[in-house]
Amino acid sequence: MTKPCLVIAFDELDQRSVALVGGKGAHLGELSRLDRIRVPEGFCVTTQGFRHVMSTEPSLAALLDRLARLAADDGEAIRAITAELRQTVEAIAIPDELSDAIARAYARLGERAACAVRSSATAEDSATASFAGQHDSYLNVSGLAAILQHVRRCWASLFTERAVTYRIRNGVDHRRVEMAVVVQRLVAAEAAGILFTADPVTGNRKVASVEASFGLGEALVSGLVNADTYQVRDGAILARAIGSKRLAVYAALDGATRQHEIDAALQSQPVLGDAQVLQLVELGRHIEAHFGSPQDIEWCLAGDGFHIVQSRPITTLFPIPAASDLANRVYVSVGHQQMMTDAMRPLGLSMWQLKAARPMSEAGGRLFVDVTKALASPAGRQGLLNSLGRSDPLIGDALQTIIARGDFLASQPDATAAGTPSTAAAPPLLEADPAIVAELIGRSQAAVAALTRDIQGKAGTELLDFIRSDIEELKRFLFDATGMQVIMAAISAAWRLDEHLETWLGVQHAADTLTQSVPNNVTSEMGLALLDVADVIRPHPDVVRALERADREDFIDELPRLSGGREARDALRTWLARYGVRGVGEIDITRPRFAERPTLLLPMLLGNVRNFAHGEAERRFEQGRRNAAQLEHELLERLRGLPDGSRKADEAKRMIDRVRTFAGYREYPKYAWVSHDFVYKQALLAEAERLVHAGVLRDPEAIYFLRYEELTEVVRTRRVNEQLVREREHAFRAYQRLHPPRVLTSEGEAVTGTYRRDDVPAGVLVGLPVSAGVVEGRARVIRDIADADLEPDDVLVTVYTDPSWTPLFVAIKGLVTEVGGLMTHGAVIAREYGLPAVVGAEHATTRIKDGQRIRVDGTTGYVEVLA
């Protein structure tokens, strides 16, 4: 039997040693091997030593079992169990074999050498989760007894309340994390600080950020001082700010550390000279190049140079899309335009790309469009800014920021300069004809019916090839010239209406009312149809109680046992047959649909039962139709009284007819898309079940972590790369924690736009007005549709709303989202329902607290928190 490795020196470690000494220890071992990098010597108490000691205390297993059953919001229980765990671990006796090994390693550092004793967990300092600050470290620890005591304290810090909660939120199994301990000679530092080899705020990989303070780095990390800060790019200091450093932390003679007040004359003096800053950044670039990713580096300055005491990946940076060359590029987020900014799994990403009209790039589980070419030419730039800037001013402003720099993109001539028109001729404007929309919808319904019929019985590569072929047919429908004309006719007519009516009559946002209750809007109809289901359920108390208790997805099948249950079941099945293909984040085929998880409907359905009377759907639709008709009548009458009034009224009437005839179809291509996706998904999961039965896959949903072409190959070869699947599962969990930028450059910079407006009051939250009107109500900050317990006075505040959220819109009086544009789904449905709405209100879910009373101005575009 191999003798366990209990203690090991830095120079025996490298990046492959994570399982033995944790992320911090492995990185220190790797750093100590690099030329030009000075690392204070030391050793690690290994995870094998930790495991050996923990096995001597039988009570730990039961405590870990209790901990594993807790959720991140079980604060009281976490606090109680973690306190007991820490107390138990700190009281454990270290066996002689381990204490002797620690003593021998410590003696090599020198008699009573002052050391830093740092936790180094196996889940720490990885590429996707740093665990920074979650576990304890101790400075200026001297003497063997103190070293042993602080090793136990580091072990116990594995079970601090903050570390346990962090693991729960990041999906890390408590039993799989083990703790090593780093014991490192303490440098008598004159100065210390942090070096980020990428800008931690903007993400720019070309800009390094340095923070520096006098003494040990503890003063900076604990927030005792305003550190000096520098930004460096390409060997030059771009910016500096010299902080007021009143205090410094130094090692005390009696152990531990002490705060010292800095002489007044030195408090505003720079800690480092410019040459030292540049030297430090150069060392950081050397370390970054070795590890292959931007680094968060802790350093100290002593005597004749810099010492590196820690380096870990910066895990908060949003990844950069892969490119075939090193040219500067600009990317625009697809998710912000689709109102779904969550991370997507590989199958969802690849199937979206199969249907897309243009190539897309991937980063961080999201999709981006490369707009570099359009942005570099004057005509392309103007078209891009007109379309994106009008729909989402924050994207438009971010693009303007990049253009204004002047040196990021090389200017390119317009295509017209070479004699080629830059844009195709605009298609003729369609006159309002309901038959056009009916024909498009009929074609789509026939295609879904044919797909559902023809996919039956197909399996293996035949199934995968069939789906690829059907996707091509779907794309022909999605990008059909007539369908695109219908959508653009509605959008352009609405914009022209608003422009003309404001010029002619001084009336603003008339199109918002004129688009209420338009026909053929499959998304708004979904919300009204769920009101009809509530009408069926409301008279039957037994059914209502059963739905309130339902926690299984087969609850619908149990309803016929109850009085009124058969009618309720039939109403729900009818609704699901038409709208069950929809679901939260539906642009990702791997996300659950209402048909697969009908419990998602219950909060909305029960809210409808509780808050509304019978016939609410019909009343709402009719009220919206009357609002639109009344405003149309008033506007046309006023126009006829103007000079040249007949012509103006006739033109307005034609635009109104186009809006009301065609606006509803704006939502249909997305519905067709997800209808096909639902059929594909059921067939692919059936194929996955066959692969599981054949022993190829461990779980049907493993296919979600394969791209479509990879899944095709797995089906063909009957072999799968399990390691790849596990790596992607891990990466997906990390991507879920990232917030995608609207605009991203190839340097990794997340370029943030601003609303440059002076028409809003001071202190309000500014956004994009997308549905006119002003309303006050109680803010309900909701991030998960399953938590949507709403009442009629509520204003919904959330990150984004896709079509699956539409049934909630009947229960609210206003809408605020962090993501969205003029023509995104939430805006379209808010206008049709007559809900004042502001979208693109950044940080709304953190700046607005649940339960606060707020005012939403959907005409001007701001949200105000009321006293």
Query: Token pair of 459, please?
Result: 């399996």
**∠ CA 428-827-346, rounded to 5°:** 90
233 beta partners: 207, 236
d(CA 73, CA 471): 43
d(CA 577, CA 669): 18
Pairing between β-strand 207-214 and β-strand 228-233 as defined by DSSP bridges:
antiparallel
User: What are the E-state strand segments in 12-104?
Assistant: 42-45
Spatial CA neighbour of 752 closest among 739, 763, 764: 739
Evaluate whether 796 touches 813 at the Cβ level (below 8 Å).
no
d(CA 802, CA 815): 13
d(CA 530, CA 575): 7
Evaluate whether 230 touches 239 at the Cβ level (below 8 Å).
yes
Distance of CA 525 to the CA centre of its chain: 29
d(CA 225, CA 218): 10
The DSSP result for 551-613, as a single string, is -STTHHHHGGGSTTHHHHHHHHHHHHHHHTT--TTTTSTTSPPTTT-GGGGHHHHHHHHHH--
Total Cβ atoms within 10 A of residue 183: 26
Spatial CA neighbour of 224 closest among 234, 232, 216: 216
The DSSP result for 834-850, as a single string, is T--EEE--TTHHHHSPT
d(CA 851, CA 166): 27
333 beta partners: 368
Amino acid at position 830, single letter: A
Q: Give the SS3 label for residue 28.
A: helix
Spatial CA neighbour of 474 closest among 557, 354, 340: 354
Spatial CA neighbour of 550 closest among 532, 568, 535: 568
- Using CA of residue 344, residue 346, residue 347, residue 350, what is the dihedral sign? positive
Pairing between β-strand 814-817 and β-strand 837-839 as defined by DSSP bridges:
parallel
User: What are the E-state strand segments in 270-304?
Assistant: 295-302
DSSP letter at 420 equals -
| Whether residue 336 lies in the annotated active site | no
Dihedral, 12, 18, 20, 22 alpha carbons, nearest 10:
110
Total Cβ atoms within 10 A of residue 373: 14
Query: Token pair of 267, please?
Result: 């408090």
Catalytic residue among 286, 336, 825, 843: 825
Q: Give the SS3 label for residue 260.
A: strand
Total Cβ atoms within 10 A of residue 308: 24
Pairing between β-strand 774-781 and β-strand 295-302 as defined by DSSP bridges:
unpaired
Distance of CA 543 to the CA centre of its chain: 37
Q: How far is CA 114 from CA 11, 85, 138, 449, 650, in A?
A: 20, 29, 11, 76, 88
Angle between helix 616-640 and 522-537 (nearest 10): 140
Query: Token pair of 311, please?
Result: 């380096």
Evaluate whether 621 touches 517 at the Cβ level (below 8 Å).
yes
d(CA 549, CA 539): 17
Evaluate whether 747 touches 206 at the Cβ level (below 8 Å).
yes
State the catalytic residues. 825
